Chain A
Amino acid sequence: MFLDPESRWARRLNLILFLLPALTIYIVFAIYPTFSVVEYSFTDWDGISPERDFVGLANYERLFTDKIFWAAFRNTFVWSGVIIVINVGLGLVIAAMLARVWKARLLLQTCIVLPVVISPMAVATIWRWMYQPTGVINQVLEGVGLGGLATPWLGSPDAVLYALALAHSWSTIGLSVVIFLAGLQAVDENLYEAAHVDGANAFQSFRYVTLPALRPVTAVVFILTLTQSFKVFDIVWATTQGGPVRFSEILSTYMYKRGALENQYGYGSAIGVALLVIVSLATVIYMQIQSKEDR
């Protein structure tokens, strides 16, 4: 069957052949579940029985009065806040320092970015071990005379969320550093020259030249870190599963417990929708900033 390649049918066939594989998989396994999660959230489904009843906003009403949900909600924000402070603040400082170094730059950068490729599961195993009561963190603290700070990090209600956030930051800060570095390379050299001529020292030129020039990049890293940290499941699940009690419970772990482990699909989905809304909003803002930057 030879079709004239310019004919309408040939074009249509081509279009289908090119688009179909990606589109089918995408719609079935990504778009459809996104709508389903909203649909489930209005039902009392247990995930197994063929029947499910529409219960209106009951699951959302339950969310509003569920103390554990609000604890998880608050923990998720605290968790993200800590990670943002580290990844944006420290990430910017490290990138700014790296940008001023030529000797050994590749080696230093490699060491700092390397943890980014380590699986969150492996990160969890490593840090769980380091945070043990007799683990390396406490041993180092005692070694430098700060033994008073030693604590069973992952068993401590006050420390657990921060300890896990630190572990997560360790494995993600390299990404911020890399994005900041790309941004720094785009800063106009002449601005530094001008600042130098005006007698600015290194700190002043950082404060008055680098920071303002990096504002859009900083916004990108900020939102990116926010969305990434909101989605986190692996590292918390593989270390504390939200414990002790609920002190490291975040939205994703709570959703997993209710939905997948306790078969409360309707309620778990409502938690999922909350997560979906927050992350989507942040991503929309992120893309707005990025497209502005591209122009």
Chain B
Amino acid sequence: MGRWLLLFVLGVIAILMVSPLILTVFTSFKPTTELVNPPWAPPVSLTYEHYVRVWTEAGFSRYFFNTLVISAVDAVVMIVIASLAAYAMVFMDFRGKLVLRVLFLIGLMIPVTAIVLPLFQIVRGFGLVNTHLGVIFADLALAVSVFVFMFSSYFVGVPKELHEAARIDGATEFQIYRRVVMPIATPAVVTTALLEFLWSWNDLLLRLLLLTRDEMRTLSVGLLNFQGTMTRDVTGLSSGTVIMAIPVVLLFLFFQRHFVRGMTAGAVK
């Protein structure tokens, strides 16, 4: 196949892949009067009115803030707990290590969908339904395995001598973790933050079950309800979709390499 033909075919595929997003952006900026034009026609006169409407009246500012809090906390806490556990798994000797390894492996196999019913009951048992904390615990539990293994694979590469030398110098385990091991695992930290943030940002099922009060809801549930009540509000729905997509699209564009590496490594989830 000639080089130019190859480029042409790939170009067509690339345009087809992004066109649903571009059409959505077009629609979100169109004045209602321009909706009679075909979807692929760019807006003639731009309007921000739909964004303002969705952001204020439909409560998307609240949803956005809720989603941001949950996703950010998820990402930060995940880095801490997964790396600590991975440190213990790699550098500490203890009985039952194999059992623990198998236990974490199980986590890679559990489909969230299959266990949401009892998960809801447990969260309810702790009185955490309709709290962000409940969602955060569930998020962390269901993804922690992936990141324990991700950190482990980085820690295994830390030279044993480096670790031993720090210990002989009198450093405590926590100091070694903080000063010696974690700096080497920076790529794993970035990947964990990005992936956990993304998964948390995008999830619907857990939030649908655990957050029923409107002021606690996230963008995914907010958008679902908006779609249910305002089925014909095409411009509002497009603006809502764009609001939900913008942060993760920006993250992706800035950190594409990390995302790609993380998605291939954490592909099991």
A residues bordering B, Cβ < 8 Å?
5, 11, 14-15, 17-19, 21-23, 25-34, 36-37, 40, 47, 94, 97-98, 100-101, 103-104, 107-108, 110-122, 124-130, 135-136, 139, 170, 174-175, 178-179, 182, 202, 220, 224, 227, 230-234, 237-238, 252, 255-256, 259-260, 265, 268-269, 272-273, 275-276, 279-280, 283-284, 286-287
Contacts and interface: CB of A to CB of B under 8 A. Distances in A.
A286 B267 CA distance: 11
B75 interface: no
Contacts of A170: 17, 20
B114 A276 contact: yes
Contacts of B173: 5, 14, 18
B154 interface: no
Contacts of B234: 129
Among A104, A129, A233, A238, find the residue whose CB has the most chain B CB atoms closer than 10 A.
A129
Given A22-B144, A26-B141, A47 B121 contact: yes
B88 A18 contact: yes
Contacts of A118: 21, 202, 245, 248-249
A231 B112 contact: yes
A33 B13 contact: no
B138 interface: yes
Given A47-B117, A98-B10, A121-B223, A29 B137 contact: yes
Given A29-B138, A34-B110, A260-B117, A108 B14 contact: yes
Given A119-B220, A121-B244, A276-B111, A111 B15 contact: yes
Contact of A119 (B172, B244, B253, B268): B244
Sorting the interface of chain B by its residue count into under 10, 10 to 19, 20 to 34 or 35 or more gives 35 or more
Interface string B1-37: 1010011011101110110110110010000000000
B115 interface: yes
Contacts of A122: 223, 241, 244-245
B10 A115 contact: no
Contacts, number: 275
Among B17, B88, B237, B252, find the residue whose CB has the most chain A CB atoms closer than 10 A.
B17
A150 to B, nearest CB: 14
B80 to A, nearest CB: 7
A125 B221 CA distance: 12
Nearest to A135: B39
B84 A19 contact: yes
Contacts of B138: 29
18 contacts: A11-B92, A19-B85, A22-B82, A28-B122, A28-B141, A30-B107, A30-B145, A40-B118, A108-B11, A110-B253, A115-B21, A116-B252, A117-B252, A121-B204, A122-B241, A130-B23, A276-B115, A280-B110
Nearest to A224: B267
Given A29-B137, A121-B202, A136-B40, A230 B111 contact: yes
B108 interface: yes
Interface string B223-234: 110010000001
B45 interface: no
Given A114-B249, A265-B117, A279-B111, A234 B205 contact: yes
A30 B202 CA distance: 19
B240 A272 contact: no
B35 to A, nearest CB: 11
Contact of B122 (A32, A136, A230): A32
A268 B107 contact: no
Contact of B115 (A17, A33, A139, A175): A33
A30 B85 contact: no
A273 B202 CA distance: 25
A209 B58 CA distance: 55
Given A21-B84, A118-B249, A178-B264, A101 B7 contact: yes
Among A100, A104, A114, find the residue whose CB has the most chain B CB atoms closer than 10 A.
A114
